[in-house]
Structure 1
Amino acid sequence: MAIRKLAAVSIAAAVMLGTSGCNFTSPVASMEQYAPSDGSQIDLENVKARNFIYVAGEEFGGLFGTLVNPSLEAQTVRIQYTDATLAEKKSISVNLLPGGVLDIGYNGTAPLLVDLGSTPGAMVSIYLNEGSNSGRELNIPVLDATLPEYQPLVDALNSAVPASAE
């Protein structure tokens, strides 16, 4: 009788371990950070860059993204890129208020019209500097209106004003 109880407990323990073993060795997928959209993201010292994409239009392209300043102090962020037409480096500085959010090309704001000279499906690099800190590279995807959800962004390029670069 005792042998039957011991065998039943052993079989039950083996079944439990066998069916739940993947939980012991696999990381929990929801704990991994990722960009939940087509755009790229990066965290600087105090500022967070979210959902940055470059949209190639028929005439020109534009940079879209969001900068978030969760800190209690104002921050200056410089976006650096290489202009493909002029083959020179340019930069644009933006100021963020404490706790501020700056949408570039989203929520009714205009995108930054820049020529990063790439074709849809490729990746391009920009650099983001926060204050006097050295820049961090951000590789962003180049998209176009092939997918219907990006047609409003391509349409926004038609009404945008070219960015004044330093």
Structure 2
Amino acid sequence: MARSTRRLAAALLLTGATALGVGACSPITTMNSYAPSDGVRGDLGNQLRVENLMILSPAEGAEGNVLGALVNETTSPVDVTLTIDGVSGGQQLNVPAQDTLLLGPEYEAVTIPTVPVPPGAVTAVQVSTPESGSITLDVPVLDGTLPPYEEYVPAAPEE
């Protein structure tokens, strides 16, 4: 009986040590950058970070509001241009040095006169700065189906 108890204890000890060893070698997923919400994120070199970028609109062809944040990682202000695929012109923004510019109706309002795709689709948005060039992000277009965004969706056009 004592022999089987020792074997069981040794097997449990070996299993525990193996589990600890394997767990210690795994990467920590929370250390990876990811978009924790419905928007997208991107990096423009070491200069600018785009966080949780999305467009809220009631329908294709209707007005839309851009929500998200632009994070300036440098000690100088950054001029940023947002250009939406299928929409003429671009939005010019200035992000203060080492600061975050929040985009939305209650903060820095960025309005798109005509959203080129319906809610549920994505549209290409180019984010550019003179110093770091540009990146193109596939930005989701959402409507007021999700309660947190309801109040930020522009009114639907009257028919």
TM-score under structure 1 length normalisation: 0.74
Measured after TM superposition, the shift of residue 82 of structure 1 is: 2.4
Q: How does 1:1-166 map to 2 (within 5 A)?
A: 7=7, 10-17=10-17, 19-20=19-20, 22-24=22-24, 26-45=26-45, 46-57=47-58, 59-84=62-87, 89-105=88-104, 107-154=106-153, 157-158=154-155
TM-score under structure 2 length normalisation: 0.77
Counterpart CA distance in 1 for 2:125 and 2:97 is 24
Matched residues, number: 150
Counterpart CA distance in 1 for 2:103 and 2:111 is 7
Deviation string 1:41-85 (CA, Å, 9 cap, x unpaired) is: 11113111111101112542222221121311111111122235x
User: What do you get for the CA RMSD once the two structures are aligned?
Assistant: 2.7
Q: Structure 2: which 5+ runs fail to align?
A: none
Q: Is the 8 A contact 1:80 1:128 kept in 2?
A: yes
Change (3 A) 1:12 1:94: same
